[in-house]
Amino acid sequence: MTVREIKPGVYSVGAVDWDRRLFDELIPLPEGTSYNSYLVRGSAKTALIDTVDPSKEAELIGNLQAAGVGSLDYIVANHAEQDHSGSIPRMLELYPGAKVVANEKAREYLTVLLGIDPGRFQVIKDGDRLDLGGKTLEFIFAPWVHWPETMLTLLVEERILFTCDMFGSHLATSDLYASDEGRVVKSAKRYYAEIMMPFRHIIRNHLQKLKAVVFDVIAPSHGPIYGRPKLILDAYEDWTSDDVKNVVVLAYVSMHGSTAKLVEHLIDALIRRGVAVKPFNLPRTDLGELAIELVDAATIVIATPTVLAGPHPSAVYAAYLANALRPKARYAAVVTSYNWGGRAAEQLAGMLGNLKVELLPSLAFKGLPSKGDYAAVEKLADEIAARHKGL
């Protein structure tokens, strides 16, 4: 990414990672990502807000050189995770007069994760300000978005809110601003689903806090900048609300076809009752797509055959994922098939303890589905449709 001016004295100096396809060895990145870093020049002092992943350190250095940065006074660490903080040690080598501006919790993490000398920090508190000379940075604590030390930085005069991971999107693009709004919001929803959703209630409180903050631009540390903040603020208001949609997320796996027959019947039964269904064949599923649909769905159904007396590992992972992400779904059900026995349904239901859902009666079928089994699926569809009424 080349150096680009956002407003007078404010520049984007980060890097686009076009080829990265996995984050934290866990999260698929079908459209790459970016590590956004921002340079703010006042009349007296210069600050760098967040750095980049160490793999893109050379690009950050090249951008700072291209911007003619001979010295840095401050390196603001909004978040200690290494894709934002990992280049701080190198920055401190290149700019020995710089101080790392961070809250106490971030200072603690950065000394442990990166071995930064505690003497290189300037520790700030919520609401503190830093005068750069005609440009003022104000620090707004936002813990658990998505780590406990996270904060946001407001450039007061230019009304730019630097939000690090909050409102971010894993999206590699040459666009500085979110010009393709539909694409950006979809990417941001995926990001929210995979990273932010477990902290939905906390984030909702932070959104309320931000209503008292004056800003015209949101500059996250992943993905494009929002010149129209309402776009992403409205999306987050929706995603973090308690509102659900008339949608069933149906995550399933079938080894020899019996479970698939039940799933196909359930899909048809729900559609006939006016319920939208999002089926995911787990061995073939991008789990990020599954996470996106979990954001709004009213009901989650997991269907699995029995393997060695328990659920298929793909179904176990889906249940673990849903339990970890804590979507706002209101209902859940488990459908299992078996031959000689097992406790697959009980085990899966027990893995959903973090979800504030009503567990509908589990269905367990032996072998090839019978007429009675299909009748039981119809009854489950009735149960779901009745609960979705009015959504």
pLDDT, tens digit, 9 for 90 and up, residues 58-108 = 999 999 999 999 999 999 999 999 999 999 999 999 999 999 999 999 999
Q: Read off the pLDDT of each residue in 153-160 and give the average, rounded to a whole number.
A: 98
Q: Read off the pLDDT of each residue in 19-36 and give the average, rounded to a whole number.
A: 92
pTM metric for this prediction? 0.95
Question: What is the DSSP code (8-state) at residue 158?
Answer: T
CATH topology of domain 4-240: Metallo-beta-lactamase; Chain A (3.60.15)
Report the relative pairing of strands 331-338 and 297-307 from DSSP bridges: parallel
What pLDDT score does 342 carry? 74
Q: What tens digit of pLDDT does each residue of 98-114 get?
A: 999 999 999 999 999 99
Q: What tens digit of pLDDT does each residue of 121-156 get?
A: 999 999 999 999 999 999 999 999 999 999 999 999
Structure tokens at 374: 């299909």
| The pLDDT of residue 1 is above 80 | no
Q: Percent of the chain, pLDDT > 90?
A: 94
Neighbours of 367 (CB within 10 A): 12
Distance CA 258, CA 305 (A): 8
pLDDT confidence band for 31 (50 / 70 / 90): very high
Q: Read off the pLDDT of each residue in 42-54 and give the average, rounded to a whole number.
A: 98
Structure tokens at 245: 């949609």
| The pLDDT of residue 174 is above 80 | yes
CB 275 within 8 A of CB 385: yes
Q: Read off the pLDDT of each residue in 339-365 and give the average, rounded to a whole number.
A: 91
What pLDDT score does 309 carry? 86
Q: Read off the pLDDT of each residue in 339-367 and give the average, rounded to a whole number.
A: 91
Q: For residue 102, what are the β-bridge partners?
A: 123
What pLDDT score does 26 carry? 84
Q: Read off the pLDDT of each residue in 25-39 and give the average, rounded to a whole number.
A: 94
What pLDDT score does 326 carry? 97
Burial of 269-304, coded b for 16+ CB within 10 Å and e otherwise, reads bbeeeebebbbbebeebebbebbbbbbbbbbbbbbb
Placement of tokens 């939000």 in the chain? 163
Q: What tens digit of pLDDT does each residue of 313-325 get?
A: 999 999 999 999 9
One-character DSSP codes across 22-89? EETTTEE-TT-EEE--EEEE-SS-EEEE----GGGHHHHHHHHHHTT----SEEE-S--SHHHHTTHH
User: The domain at 248-384 falls in which architecture?
Assistant: 3-Layer(aba) Sandwich (3.40)
Distance, first Cα to last Cα, the chain: 44
What pLDDT score does 137 carry? 98
Q: Read off the pLDDT of each residue in 276-283 and give the average, rounded to a whole number.
A: 98
Distance CA 12, CA 64 (A): 10
**Which residue ranges make up each domain of the chain?**
4-240, 248-384
Instruction: Say which amino acid occupies 390.
Output: G
Length of the chain: 391
CB 161 within 8 A of CB 218: yes
Q: What tens digit of pLDDT does each residue of 357-382 get?
A: 999 999 999 989 999 999 999 999 99
Q: Read off the pLDDT of each residue in 189-202 and give the average, rounded to a whole number.
A: 97
Task: Quote the mean pLDDT of the chain.
Answer: 96
- Return left, alpha or beta for 38; rule: phi > 0 is left, psi -120 to 50 is alpha, else beta: beta
Note if the bond before 146 is cis, omega within 30 degrees: yes
Report angle CA 104, 110, 116 to the nearest 5 degrees: 110
What pLDDT score does 339 carry? 86
Structure tokens at 191: 């990001």
State how far Cα 37 lies from the chain centre. Answer: 19
